[in-house]
Amino acid sequence: MTTYIIRRVIQSMLVLVMVTMIVFLVMRLLPGDPIYMLITEDDLIQSSEEKIAALRHEFGLDKPIPVQYINWFSAAVCGDLGVSIIHRGKVAKEIIGRLPITLHIGLLAFIISIVVGIPLGVVSAVRRGRWLDTGVTLLANLGITIPVFWLGILMIYFFALYLGILPVQGYTSPFEDFWMSTRKIIMPVFCLSVFPIASAARQTRSSMLEIMRQDYIRTAWAKGLRERLIIVRHALKNALIPVVTLKGLMFRNIIGGSVLVETVFNIPGMGRLAVDGVISHDYAIVQGIVLLIATVVLVVNLVVDLSYGWLDPRIRYG
């Protein structure tokens, strides 16, 4: 188990380095002057050629790319991600302020998708071909289909505008006003969790059906065990192994979806910040967010992968 953990941690570090390289190279090598990350466009227009050259030199942008990367990387590790032009402040500070909002909604959606999606898949597999299965399957197929931003708009129309039972938009911190906060995040969390619930249910269902055909399940039947015991003790743990892999990916998609959901519900999270950054050509903000989100996703994936060890003794003792 220890070797497995160490190997996975090292692997994640390598991937993280790869992530930083991708972000760095994309920002530097694609057209678009990285000087924009350091000064605003207005300043740039007003500045003389020499002044810009001096700035380039000052920030090391005239050095070879690998050197630039190392400088940039060590700055990023220390939390220095540059200066945002629209927010007139350090990017890191701006992002850290928004991160809890996105995580509040995203993690809730993630947890709900596990707690709801997996049991739905199990029930659907066990009642294969019955109306319950047909219903769950249809809902799951719709769930992986519906555009999250559109679902948000439908919900706003129905619950906020038509029925008037939920606030339309916005975000309130749960520490400020827990009740209001909860009322405001119901719709965003629901929207974000629909896709992961549906795909978890689909994956669990097909994984369960596959496991129920295995020889060791036949052995369990031959012992005279009850169906429920066979499902819970013998099948579920095995069936969850592929689902766990999927859940790691799902977290990435939830964060991606939060870009849209935060836009629809006007939530001042990281996703919204990223979109604003794109619209106002704020390179530094976008770069910082992408880097941070990739890191968070990698950490979540690592945790998810480590839970393999709990599920699969072949890894625990491998």
Partner 1 sequence: MQRTDMTETPLHASEFRRIMKVLFSRGVVVFGIVVILALFVTAIFAPWIAPYDPYKLDLNQTLVQPCKEHLLGTDALGRDTLSRIIFGTRTSLMVGVVAVCIAASVGMTMGLIAGYFGRWVHAIIMRFIDALMAFPVILLALVIAVLLGGGLRNVMIALGIGLLPAYARLMCGQVLSVKENDYFLAGRAMGAGNLRIMFRHVVPNCFPPLIVLITMMMGLTILAEAGLSFLGIGIEPPGAAWGAMVNDGYQYLLTHPILSFAPGFAIMLVVFSFNMVGDGLRDALDPRLRGVL
Partner 2 sequence: MPVLLEVKNLKTYFKVYHGLVKAVDDISYHIKKKEIVGLVGESGCGKSVSQLSVLQLIPTPPGEIVAGQIIFEGQDLLQFEANGDEMRSIRGGGIAMVFQEPMTSLNPVLTIGRQLTEGLELHLGMDVNEARNRAIELLSMVGIPDADKRIDDYPHQFSGGMRQRVMIAMALSCNPKIIIADEPTTALDVTTQAQLLELMTDLVSRFNASLVIVTHNLGVIARYAQRLYVMYAGRIVESGTAKEIFGNPRHPYTIALLNCVPRLDEEEGRKLVPIEGMPPNLLNMPITCAFKPRCPYHIERCGQDPWPDLKLIEGQHYVRCYVET
Chain contacts with partner 2 (rule: CB under 8 A): 213-216, 218-227, 229, 233-234, 237-238, 311-314, 317
Specify the residue, 220 or 246, whose C-beta has the smaller distance to partner 1: 246
Query: What does 213 bind: partner 2, partner 1, none (CB cut-off 5 to 8 Å by kind)?
Result: partner 2
Query: What does 87 bind: partner 1, partner 2, none (CB cut-off 5 to 8 Å by kind)?
Result: none
* Number of chain residues interacting with partner 1 (CB under 8 A): 61
Distance CA 228, CA 123 (A): 11
Helices (H) then strands (E): counts for the chain:
14, 2
Amino acid at 189: V
**Residue 203 makes contact with partner 1 by CB under 8 A:** yes
**Residue 283 makes contact with partner 1 by CB under 8 A:** yes
Distance CA 221, CA 215 (A): 10
Specify the residue, 66 or 129, whose C-beta has the smaller distance to partner 2: 129
Q: Are 117 and 197 in contact (CB under 8 A)?
A: yes
Interior/surface letters 53-80, b for 16+ CB within 10 angstroms, e for the rest: eebbeebebeeeeeebbeebeeebeeee
Among 235, 301, 305, 309, binds partner 1 (CB under 8 A): 301
The interface region with partner 1, picked from 28-36, 45-53, 123-131, 306-314 by CB under 8 A, is 28-36
Query: What does 274 bind: partner 2, partner 1, none (CB cut-off 5 to 8 Å by kind)?
Result: partner 1
Partners of 84 in beta bridges: 89
Within 151-190, the residues that bind partner 1 by CB under 8 A are: 153-154, 156-157, 161
Distance CA 171, CA 270 (A): 13
**Residue 193 makes contact with partner 1 by CB under 8 A:** no
DSSP 248-277: HHHHHHHHHHHHHHHHHTT--SHHHHHHHH
Query: What does 11 bind: partner 1, partner 2, none (CB cut-off 5 to 8 Å by kind)?
Result: partner 1
Query: What does 6 bind: partner 1, partner 2, none (CB cut-off 5 to 8 Å by kind)?
Result: none
**Residue 144 makes contact with partner 1 by CB under 8 A:** yes
**Residue 77 makes contact with partner 1 by CB under 8 A:** no
Within 218-277, the residues that bind partner 1 by CB under 8 A are: 242, 249, 252-253, 255-257, 259-260, 263-264, 274-275, 277
Total Cβ atoms within 10 A of residue 204:
26
Nearest one of 230, 190, 232, 204 to 118, comparing CA atoms: 204
Q: Is 82 exposed, middle or buried (0-12, 13-18, 19+ CB in 10 A)?
A: buried
Q: Are 63 and 54 in contact (CB under 8 A)?
A: no
Nearest one of 50, 148, 147 to 106, comparing CA atoms: 148
Specify the residue, 207 or 287, whose C-beta has the smaller distance to partner 2: 207
Which tokens is 55 given?
């700035």
Positions touching partner 1 (CB under 8 A) are: 11, 14-16, 18-19, 21-23, 26-27, 30-32, 141-142, 144-150, 153-154, 156-157, 161, 203, 206-207, 209-210, 242, 249, 252-253, 255-257, 259-260, 263-264, 274-275, 277-279, 281, 283, 286-287, 289-290, 293-295, 297-298, 301
